[in-house]
Structure formats: structure tokens, C-alpha cells
Structure 1
Amino acid sequence: MKKSIFLIFTTLVIYTTSFGQRALSEQVSYFDVRIPNNQLDESIKTYNTIVETPYTLTVAELNAQSLADFEVEKANYVNVLKESEIEFQERLTNHDDEVIKAEARYDKEMKDFKDLTLLERLALTDQGKKPKLRVPSKPTYVKPREPQYIQPNLNDHLIFDNNVLADGVVLLGYEKGSDILFIINISKMIFQDNGGQTFYSQSTNLKVMKGADLINEKNFDDEFQFLTSSSSNTINLERYEKNNVNKIMKNIGKYINEEFGYIPVASSIKIEFPKNKNRAYDALENAKIKAISAYRKLKKETSSEIRERSKTELEAVRDVWKTELAKVDYNDKKAVMNKKIAKMIFFNLMRVDISLKDKTQAEETLGLMQERRIDLDLDYNDKITFTRLEEQVYKL
């Protein structure tokens, strides 16, 4: 009896230990960054932008001119009324003459119609060609509408605030400051007609300066391109030009971020950990908490400084995992640190190595896990996970 109780107790202990080592996980969403094509020197932390355009018209000037034009229109309204009344009287006089002509024409057509034979008249009537008196409608006087002030549509005018354009340039991963300077010079738009179509160019120059040194230079829209299938004298040129300036600024923003910025990319990572029921896995629990916290700091707008801090925190977590991995007994299923724990740690290490784009560490972790493949006794899903992570390591 005692032996049976002992066997039952032993089974329960083994089951409890196994359950305690069941892999739990948390999926953490964060924003990774795309490495720029042309990484700036590490000493560069801030940037500033200057935009130069040929457009000097201001909203205040446009409104003032619009109001002045409205006052002229109001003052001229009396003359407009007089001219409309004179024109109406002329139309009335002309109408009387047109009525006389229409009646005379009808009388002549009816005379000719009556001279026809009966059969001819019947045939024309069936065809709807019997003469009819068509008297023009009498003109109606429509009083001209009184002038009303309409606020100018800013989209139809070349109004730009260079400071606002400059503020719209954002270099992702950097703060505003003075370490580097983007100088954007936009010229007037040139229109060219060809075969009833309109083409354009609007040469724009971008210079990236660090002090007196030119880091990078690029031109935009300096060659003629297709604009519209209509000729230039039938389109609103200023509206097209304004839209193109905004397009150029957007293209410049895209270019400088692809070249020098750290573009946020929505990502997620899975962190695995054992159930820490009896405080046997405090180190792994703390590592999990710190890893999740580090990733949650990586927001879309997170600065490069905070990203570096998070990277340092993740590297510290990685060291904890490596230390705990060294304690694993791959041959003892009952051990607190057994192969199930090793599998969790290996997967965590590989995922973090990949997220940090640390090729050296990722290859090292991959090599260690490959050496322990037999000891780890991976199941079907584990093998799929391993293969996917392995492929990602090779792509680093």
C-alpha cells in the first residue's frame, strides 16, 4: 500500500514539474527600423532644413487684392446694370423684326404649299413638312447678380511659406537641431506644349551639408515629363504648379529617409518563458519582463537614442539567457533546467538576435542549437519554427 502511494506521489511530482515547464509565450508588437542606404556618422544626432522657393505672394496680399477687385466690381455694378438694360432693349427691337420676318416667311411658304396638288400637300403633311409659323420667344430681362465677395481659393494660387515647407521635412530617427542641414532650392515650373499635350519640368536641388562639407546632392524634376493630355492654355497652371511643389517635397522626404533615416517598420516578436510557479525560474521571468519592456519602448516615433538604450537592455537580457542556458541538463527530464527550458531560451535568443540584426550572434546561437538538435528532441512545430528562424539568420 505504501509502495503504491509512493508511486502515485512520484507520478504527481513528475507531472507537476513537467507542467511547470510548459512553454508560455507573449507576442509583443513594436516598430523596427529599416537601415538607411547611406548611414550618417554616429556623431550626427540632429538636422535642420532650409527651403528656398521663387514664390513671394502671401495670403494677406492675395486677400487684399481680392478685396480691392471686389470693390472695383461693386463700383462698376451701376454700369453693368445700364449695359444690361440697353442690351435688353436691343434684343426686344430685334425680336419685333424677327417676328415680322418669321410671319412673312410663313406666308410665302403657305402660298407655295397651297399651289401644290392635293396629293403633294397630303404627302408633305404626312412627312411633317407642312409650313408652320415659328415665332421666336420674346426676350426676358434678367437682372445681373449683385457682386458678392468670394474668399480666394488658396489651391489656385502659388502661396507657400518656406518655413512651413521646411518644418514638413522629417528625418526619421533624428531630432531637430544643427548637426546636418538639408538645403532645398525649388525653381519655377516650366510648361511645354507638344502635340496638344502639356509637359513640364521644375528643377529642384537638394544639398545635404555638414558644416561646410557637402555630404550628398540630388536633383529632382529637372527633365521634362508628361503632365496632362490637354494643352497648357486650357488648364489651371498655378494649381498644377502648386500640386507639383507638394509632390516634390514629398519625394524629397522619401528620398532623405531612404538614404539617411530610420524608417519604422511594424514588427512583432514572440518571447517564450516557463511558468514560474515555485520561483524556480526567477531569472528567466525577469529576463522576459525586461525583454518585453525593451520592445514596447520601440514606438513608431522613438528616437535613435531610445532605440540604442533598448538595444543595450536586450543585449543584457540575452546575457541572462546565455547564463541560464549553461545550466541546462539535457539528459535529465526532471531537472529544473532541462531541454524544454533550453528550447525556449534558444528560440528567444535567435529571435532577439534576428531583431537586433546581429548576424554574428545569430549565427553563433544557430550553431549552438544545431549542435543540440538531437538533445532538444524538437517536435513537428518546433522544427518548423527552427527552420523559419534559420532562414532568417541566413538572410541577415
Structure 2
Amino acid sequence: MKIALHTFAVASSLFLLSATARAIDYAPFNYSGPGDTVITGIRGASDVPGYAVITGSLSIPNSGGNTQAIIYEGSIYSQNGTWTPLTPTINGQTITTSTLYGPNTGYYDTSLGENGIRAVGSYKYSTGGSYDHGLMYTRIGGVSTWSQFDVPEEVAGAPVLYTIAHSTMGSLVVGNYDVQLDRGRAFVYDLNSSTFRNFLPVVQGIAFDSITAYGIWKNSNGTYTVAGGYSNLANHVLDAGYLVDYDPSKTGNDAYTHFTSFQYQNEPLASLISHFDGIVATDDGYNLTGDHATLASPQNQLGFFAHVTRSEDGGFDLTADWLSIEYPGNAITSGNTVYAESVLGVSTGSTTTSYIATVPEPSSLALLGLAGLAAILRRRS
């Protein structure tokens, strides 16, 4: 089937029309106790729409910037669930600061049991130096355990400064580490074998200047789709988002397929920053969120909601549908995680708040347009 390029432009315009026909719904989403809430990750936890586990951190008042891990369990729509601040417990360590990122739940991993949670993140302790260490939290049958896991020197090839775990699903954890502060490296950790790999060190012959692995989704065929960002200054890429499929049963470059780069509004020349932070599967692809900044407004770092579909060859369509997420009244909004059509993150400016932003369903006018587009596609196929 061949489709004219202007047809894709029509499809993109109709998506934007459908989403902007009425405003995105923004609402604050914060712990009611002292300290500022930072929402970092989410995973569905039930067949009930909106019932999920949220991870994040809570600032500790008068601590000089330290944070405490926190988890929310319940409806993201009614916000009547339970917030639980957590203090990691690891033998022989006095923990000073902690944050949890992308979780997994018993709903997606039966080994965790009903209401089970696994979340990853980072922390510091009094004798552990000034950089972050990788952190894992597991709750099975009401029993909670904590553990430290850092990328080993033999994998990194040099002493490791920090390890930050960003997300987990299935048997894998993805995150970042570094051996020098001006270059980020990504890792994948296999829970079954307790082994680390460098993640995506080279793809299509390109060695990245810096790469992150932030979001992960386990597909029904046993592969995983990972989202993050990279820079490659030789190719004039300051910060672009990417999606790639990863098969943990394979080694080397054979483990990676369908690497695809994305930049905000599909405009590489206008985009300064386009970074994927969160991912969730849909019927035809993935919804994503992250951060963007453009040449037109480089001082405004904003979030986005994006949708990428799978192509006929099993890869990803080269263009995405994008919507800017801009919490009202603030110049800075981060898109940290996504659930269905809702983006969650943090916004700062005149106020500082965690938030939920829900993208509206298509309007009836746009639905008519989409129906017309479907007719065009049928005639061209």
C-alpha cells in the first residue's frame, strides 16, 4: 500500500485538531503531608481503569535537599488512594536520600503476587560517596526488601561514578551510569541472571556521545521496547528521543532491532531537546511522554504527550503525533511518566507541583475527519 506524503500530513493535522478541540485537563497531584512531591513513574495495577502504582520522592524539610522515596496506590482519577513515604533499609548503611522511579506490579508480573510491587531508583548513604547508587524495592506478600545494585567496573570498563535505575518491567531493569560526568551511558540489568549489560553502545554503526534508557515495556512476544534519548554531535543531534526493540535472549547488536529516532513535532531543525521518559503500550503502538525545548522558546522546557504506531514491517512509524504539555502559569513542565492518555510529572514556576494532565478524546468533528481519512486510505490501498 502506497500513501502520498500529504496524507500523513492530513493524519497529523487531524490528530492535533482532535486533541486541541478542547483543552487538556490539568490537575495537581501531591502528597498531603509536608515536603514537595515529585512523581516519577507509574504502572497499572488492576483491570479497573486508572488504578495504578505511582513512584516518586518527597523532599525532606530542612535537610539541605535530601529526598525520601514515596509510593501512591489507588485511582489516579479520584486521587483517593494511599500515599506511603518509605525509608530504605540496607544493612550497615545510614541512608540520607532516596528516590523511586518506574515500577512494576503484580498485575503485569505474577511472580510479585497480588498487590506486589517492584520499583527501582537511586539513593545515597553516609559512607557511600557523593554520587547515587542504584536502588531496588520489592514488596511481595506484604514483606518489603531493599537492595543496592551498581553497575560493576568490569562492565563499565572504568570506575563507576553513579548508577541510577529508571524503570523495570518483566525481568529487566534499565537505567544509566557514568564513568565521567560529561557522558551518560545506559545499562540493562537482568533480574533472572543478576547480570548487567551496556545498553545500546552502538547502533547502525553509530557510537553515541551520550545515551539514556528511561522507559521499558514488555511486549507479548517476549521482547521489550525501550525509550530514552541520545546525543550525537557529529550528526548535529543535541538530544533526540528514540525507541528500540530489545531481545534479552540475544547478544551483541543482534539484541537490538527497529532503532528509530524522534524529535519534537517531527522537526529536527527546530528541536533542541526531545527526550522520551515514559512509555505505555496501546492497541496500535505506544503512548510516550518526556521533555522538549525548541529554538523558538529554548528557555521553556516543557513536557509532551506523543503517540507512535507500529509500522507494517514490525518497526515504528517514522513520525509521531505530538502534543505539548504545559502546566498553566509555569514556564517549566516535565513529562515524567504516562498511563493511557494521562501524563504525570512536575511543573515549576509561579508554583511547584506534581500534576496529572489528561489528553481529551477526539471531538466529533475530528472523528468525522478521521473517518474521511480512512476512506482516503481505502481508496489508495
TM range (shorter): under 0.3
Name the one with the larger strand percent: 2
| Larger-Rg structure | 1
| Greater relative contact order structure (CA < 8 Å, 6+ sep) | 1
Name the one with the larger helix percent: 1
TM-score (normalised: structure 2)? 0.19
